């Protein structure tokens, strides 16, 4: 594809809009994209992407997946995360580091040409959909290895948009994950504005022996301890439990979750020689205080804890949403997706959407990743929406 306008003409137009661009939340909305089409074509990431598509991706951009699949097998997982697929010549389970850089450098290069970050307006970026970040091990074409910590530094230096980070902990003998977590902690401690949320997940929906889970979560809290200090407001816990009338509530409900956290806190005290007086936000009465947000969601594997009636009710709501989507015209769908759905990138560059009720819709937009023809595991959705209409 050739550049449609002389670069100087594009530059003049962009310059004439610079005040508007600087003050806009989603700056590409302020431009007549026909007048700048071509500005992106020599950037490898956008070789097959129009500026209309870049604009589409940039509004409510949310997830840049580093890895797909999870070893944790939590029984309440709303993404129904399964073990990563086996990598071979056709399938991948982590992003190729060169593709990750293609993404960050591509958007950053376009930003230089526009004089403004095209992703501006998005409150945060998440690096996972159905995985547990500290264990993500990415490789480049030369076999060099990179971690979530390397990814965070790159994202933050290019976009200055904070990340949302949640982990369920990692095996205490996993040296790579441990080192990644320590590096993450050091970077976030020095640059607290780089994380909108930095949470350790605590809940009774773990899979496997209880003592191993307690040790794993206590170790994660100990590793991120500097972020929980009273004078810092960075580290947090994501405490979840079942409804009082939910299935197996005696082992997954509020009281059981509180008891579990008390044991985790005791283990943490043991690991830190009881030096926890400066960490109020880790005290059991703080972590386990009642909040509506503590209740689990009726989604994915979590549905097993709800009665058949509640699952049916929820399913009906999703049916109405998917039926309504089906009745929209192509233009209406495009508009609804642009305005109301998040835009997410799979590890092969495929763009997919999440509806407000977190149901997945595929699109025909694929960023020009080196691995764009590789297969990835299907991303879970409770309800199948009509796919592939967004281009
Ligand atoms: S809840 Fe998170 S850690 Fe647990 S299985 Fe799902 S993705 Fe993995």
pLDDT, tens digit (0-9, with 9 covering 90-100), for 320-377:
999 999 999 999 999 999 999 999 999 999 999 999 999 999 999 999 999 999 999 9
Q: What is the pLDDT of residue 161?
A: 97
Residue 258 CA, ligand 1 centroid: distance in Å = 20
How far is residue 111's CA from residue 117's CA, in Å, rounded to a whole number? Answer: 5
Structure tokens, 276: 């926890």
Q: Is the pLDDT of residue 390 over 80?
A: no
Could you tell me where the DSSP H helices lie in 24-70? 51-58
Q: Where are the domains of the chain?
A: 60-366
How far is residue 281's CA from residue 230's CA, in Å, rounded to a whole number? Answer: 7
The C-alpha torsion from 151 through 155 and 161 to 167, rounded to 10°, is: -10
Looking up tokens 């310059």 gives 15
SS3 label, residue 246:
coil
Other C-beta atoms closer than 10 Å to the C-beta of 183 total 17
Residue 132 CA, ligand 1 centroid: distance in Å = 6
Looking up tokens 């297969």 gives 375
Atom number, ligand 1, closest to the C-alpha of residue 300: 6
Within 8 A by CB and 6+ apart from 373, the residues are 348
Atom number, ligand 1, closest to the C-alpha of residue 167: 3
What number is the average pLDDT over the span 31-53?
96
What number is the average pLDDT over the span 106-135?
96
Residue 152 CA, ligand 1 centroid: distance in Å = 20
pTM of this structure: 0.95
Q: Is the pLDDT of residue 3 over 60?
A: no
List pocket residues of ligand 1, CB cut-off 6 Å. 70, 72-74, 77, 79, 81, 130-132, 168
Q: What is the pLDDT of residue 7?
A: 67
Tens digit of each residue's pLDDT (9 = 90 or more) over 116-128: 999 999 999 999 9
Percentage of the chain modeled with pLDDT above 90? 93
Atom 4, ligand 1: residue with shortest CA distance: 74
The residue to mutate among 63, 66, 79, having the most atoms of ligand 1 within 8 angstroms of its beta carbon, is 79
Residue 283 dihedral angles phi and psi, to the nearest 5° = -65, 140
Residue 343 CA, ligand 1 centroid: distance in Å = 21
Residues, the chain:
391
Tens digit of each residue's pLDDT (9 = 90 or more) over 207-234: 999 999 999 999 999 999 999 999 998 9
């Amino acid at each position: 594809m050739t550049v449609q306008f002389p670069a100087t003409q594009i530059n003049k137009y962009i310059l004439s809009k610079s005040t508007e661009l600087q003050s806009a939340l989603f700056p590409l909305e302020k431009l007549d994209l026909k007048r700048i089409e071509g500005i992106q074509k020599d950037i490898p990431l956008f070789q097959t992407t129009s500026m209309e598509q870049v604009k589409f991706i940039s509004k409510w951009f949310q997830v840049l997946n580093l890895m797909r699949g999870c070893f944790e097998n939590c029984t309440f997982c709303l993404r129904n995360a399964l073990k990563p697929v086996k990598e071979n010549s056709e399938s991948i389970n982590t992003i190729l580091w060169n593709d990750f850089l293609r993404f960050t450098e591509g958007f950053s290069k376009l930003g230089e040409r526009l004089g403004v970050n095209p992703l501006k307006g998005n409150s945060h970026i998440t690096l996972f959909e159905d995985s547990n970040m500290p264990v993500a091990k990415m490789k480049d074409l030369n076999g060099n290895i990179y971690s979530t910590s390397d990814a965070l530094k790159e994202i933050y230096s290019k976009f200055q948009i904070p990340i949302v980070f949640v982990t369920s902990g990692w095996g205490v003998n996993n040296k790579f994950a441990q080192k990644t977590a320590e590096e993450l902690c050091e970077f976030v401690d020095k640059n607290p504005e780089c994380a909108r949320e930095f949470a350790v997940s605590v809940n009774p929906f773990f899979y496997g022996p209880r003592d191993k889970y307690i040790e794993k979560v206590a170790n994660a809290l100990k590793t991120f301890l500097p972020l929980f200090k009273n004078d810092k407001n960075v580290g947090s816990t994501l405490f979840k439990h079942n409804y009082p009338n939910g299935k197996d509530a005696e082992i997954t409900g509020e009281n059981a979750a509180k008891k579990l956290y008390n044991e985790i806190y005791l283990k943490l005290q043991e690991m830190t020689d009881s030096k926890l007086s400066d960490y109020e936000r880790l005290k059991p009465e703080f972590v386990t205080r009642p909040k509506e947000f503590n209740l689990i969601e009726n989604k994915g594997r979590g549905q097993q804890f709800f009665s058949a009636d509640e699952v049916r009710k929820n399913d009906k709501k999703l049916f109405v949403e998917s039926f309504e989507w089906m009745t929209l015209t192509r233009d209406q769908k495009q508009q609804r997706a642009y305005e109301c759905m998040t835009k997410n990138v799979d590890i092969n560059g495929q763009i997919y959407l999440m509806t407000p009720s977190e149901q997945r819709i595929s699109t025909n937009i694929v960023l020009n990743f080196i691995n764009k023809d590789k297969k990835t595991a299907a991303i879970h959705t409770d309800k199948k929406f009509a796919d592939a209409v967004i281009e």
